[in-house]
Chain A
Amino acid sequence: MAEAESLKDPGLPGEIPFDTVIYGSPPLAYPVALNQFVIYNTPDPAYVAGRINVSAFANLGFAPWPFANTNAPLNGHICIPRGRGPFPLAVFAHGNHNPLENSTPGYLYLCQLLASHGIIAATIDVNFLNGGFGENDARAIVHLEHLKQFRTWNNTATHPLHGKVDLNRILIVGHSRGGEAVGHASYFNRLASIGAVNLDGLAPFFLGPYRFGLSAVAAIAPTDRQFIPVSGPTVVPDPYYIIHGSKDGDVFDFQGYHTYERAHAVDLANPSVSSGKFKAMLWVHKANHNQFNSTWPPETGPGVAMTRASQEQVAKVHLGALAQAVLLDRAAYFDVLRDHGTAVTWDPPSTDFVSQYLDPERILVQHNQEGVVAPVVSLPVQGTVAADAVVATRALTLLTGGPTNTITLRLVWNALGSRLLLTIDPETLPAERYKVLALRVGQSTDPNNPVNRDQDFTLQVSSGSRTASVAASALHRLLYPDVPVAGPAKIMMQTLRLPVAQLVEDGVEPRDIRSIAFFFDRRATGTLYVGDLQFSN
């Protein structure tokens, strides 16, 4: 596993001083029942925002809001680095919670961190949409309208933020239903209209236009498909990052994994063509749902989840690394996304993670999406697959919860020495153009996997007479699934990245790779699930 050598802990505060201000849309007079919101009655005079009409998308929740859905306020908190800028922008949104409680300040701990590193960071009020179901398109619109407000301020000569916001470096982050909504926002951001609603800034709704430069979209413990566009479930078009806890007692079925699978998936018509965007996932053992928001009480009982301080530290380290990588051009922090082991000294001690990373530069050797048929080598790479004492089947396996359209390869063996062999025509695999052999593999609670024991096997890569044999456990642990708070245990696949340079050291010629094998010589029995196998960067 990689070590954090020259990188600094992205979860620690930076050295840039910053100011925190409240913005809002006066005149507002929140009633006594909504006393947590009165802070928005008197925003900073320089940070007066407009109102928005979300009536095409949502009714308001049941709380006694002092406004209608035709003139909802743009309220929020911003941490603004001192200096000339322009600074990148990160905007956080909460999810569904008791509307009488203000969920907005719950991400200030992350805003403060990012601001101290030179990022304007805001957390926005979407409380008026709490309650009901299917409103996540409206949450997306609210998020985009907040970005529009920042654009307006950036373009207003007399405003303190004039010229300070880098509108080509924006990170949107959402938690829970807000996490689903940032996926929709990424999709809506490119549209001229949504149904009958034009996103042109004109009457009757005055929404849009957007078309922001979204550097990445990050979802914290998101829901999925509560809102479904007419065109089908949302496919996030921007770089996508997702973080979720194994002890989530709310979105216990890790719905966002479906969002993750849909994003930048293989195009079966052009399997060698990539979307050009990365995606990354972090599965955090013992993290729950609510503790990512510093104001929400934990939904899990005492001792079930990690401490709030630990969970916030995980969020700071990993979202901090994402922000450093995509907003501040510190590309070295992509290492944290590629391999969570890079952050081992920054994360809370003894925290277990499972992570995935898909690089935009890749050639798939086996993506498994050709159909629920016997496994094959995926075109344009040519080859054959042979199973020796391994039962290799493809299925629409429910790795998390809910129905899936993604096929996974299941490998079952019951004797040492079993093997799945991919024989490859080296003329069709330009492995020398890539830096790593990457595959996603994970274990389950199937009875032939010993309980609470890491699974393991040997990856064998051959060119001619030279073979490199590498234990999967030398690349990463294949953790036994954590016991969930509700529902079945999840099958979380870990991305294993074997450097091509290591293959070369072992005498393997990347231009002449003739076979790749899963050799089951380390555990007598087991069941593993394989997502894909590729050469990548």
Chain B
Amino acid sequence: MQPPKPPQIAAVDVVPAQPAQADSMALTHLSARTDASPPPVAYVVKVKLKSRLPATSLGWALYVSDVRIPKYWEYEDGIYFTVIDPNFFAEHKGERLRFSHDGAEFHDTGVKLPGAPASATPVAAISEALTSNVQTSATSRRRTTAKKAKAKKAKAKSAKAKSKRKRA
């Protein structure tokens, strides 16, 4: 039996959301802020997985490059975590998401952290951000579009070469 395989990421979206009171308390605690005022906006980073996390105790810590995301939770399509400080995206945009079960061996998912959405206006409560079909982030789409275009170009090139060989 091989060691378990890390989760595979299908897409990453960042959604600005309005924290509910319970979210605010948790976010305040997590950010080690001492004031009790709820942050006006929290960014929900939705990491869509290709399959659900296995129900094992062994867990996969999620890293953005070398920064470990301390906690993440499950939702219908994968996992999510919340970010209060928009500077997080400025600092880590474009960095790769990685998983590790032991802090020693890392698995690069090949997926990068998108930037924060242009508008920081909350589109929904956190819970709604997880369930509603909110707009996917531009970066995630662009990546997919670029990938598709690249594949299309390669296919066309290969077909052209094939017909050239045939003619020869």
- Give the residue among A70, A135, A196 with the most B Cβ atoms within 10 A: A196
Tell me if A58 and B29 are in contact (CB < 8 A): no
A326 beta carbon closer than 8 Å to chain B: no
Q: Mark B21-33, 1 if CB is under 8 A from A, else 0.
A: 0110110111011
B34 located at the interface, meaning its Cβ lies under 8 Å from any Cβ of chain A in the complex = yes
Say yes or no: B29 contacts A252, CB within 8 Å: no
A133 to B103, Cβ gap below 8 A?
Answer: no
Chain B hits for A135, CB < 8 A: 71, 73
**Does A289 sit at the interface, judged by CB under 8 A?**
yes
* Contact assessment for B55 and A97 in the assembled complex, using a CB-CB cutoff below 8 Å: yes
Asked if residues B102 and A226 are in contact (CB atoms below 8 Å), the reply is no
Quick one: closest B residue to A133, CB to CB? B59
Q: Do A250 and B57 contact each other (CB < 8 Å), given the known contacts A56-B29, A195-B29, A403-B104?
A: yes
User: Chain A binding site: helix, strand, loop or mixed by DSSP?
Assistant: loop
Q: Is A223 a contact of B74 with CB atoms below 8 Å?
A: no
Give the distance to chain A from B156, nearest Cβ to Cβ, in Å. 42
> What distance in Å separates the Cβ of B105 from its nearest Cβ neighbour in chain A?
9
Instruction: State in angstroms the CA–CA spacing of A249 and B57 once bound together.
Output: 10
Docked Cα-Cα span, A223 to B102, in Å, equals 10
Q: How many residue-residue contacts, CB under 8 A, span A and B?
A: 117
The number of chain B residues touching the other chain, given as a range, is: 35 or more
State how many angstroms separate the Cβ of B9 from the closest Cβ of chain A: 14
B22's partner among A69, A130, A253 (CB-CB below 8 A) is: A69
Q: How far is the CB of B78 from chain A (nearest CB, A)?
A: 10
The answer to whether the Cβ of A284 comes within 8 Å of any Cβ in the partner chain is: no
* Complex Cα spacing A482 to B34, Å: 50
**B62 contacts which chain A residues (CB < 8 A)?**
133
Whether the Cβ atoms of B22 and A70 lie closer than 8 Å is yes
Interface of B is mostly: loop
Let me know if A62 and B75 touch, CB within 8 A: yes
A195's contact among B3, B32, B36, B104, by CB below 8 Å, is which? B32
A204 interface residue (CB < 8 Å to B): yes
Pairwise interchain contact A56-B26, C-beta atoms closer than 8 A: yes
Which residue from chain B places its CB closest to the CB of A249 in the assembled complex? B1
The answer to whether B58 touches A250 (Cβ under 8 A) is: yes
Q: Are A131 and B74 in contact (CB under 8 A)?
A: yes
Q: Cβ of B88 < 8 Å from any Cβ of A?
A: no
Q: Does A160 contact B (CB under 8 A)?
A: no
Q: Is B79 part of the binding interface, using a Cβ–Cβ cutoff of 8 Å? A: yes
Query: What are 15 sample pairs from A and B whose C-beta atoms fall under 8 A apart?
Result: A58-B73, A62-B75, A96-B59, A132-B71, A133-B60, A133-B72, A134-B59, A135-B73, A176-B57, A195-B30, A195-B32, A223-B57, A401-B104, A402-B102, A485-B1
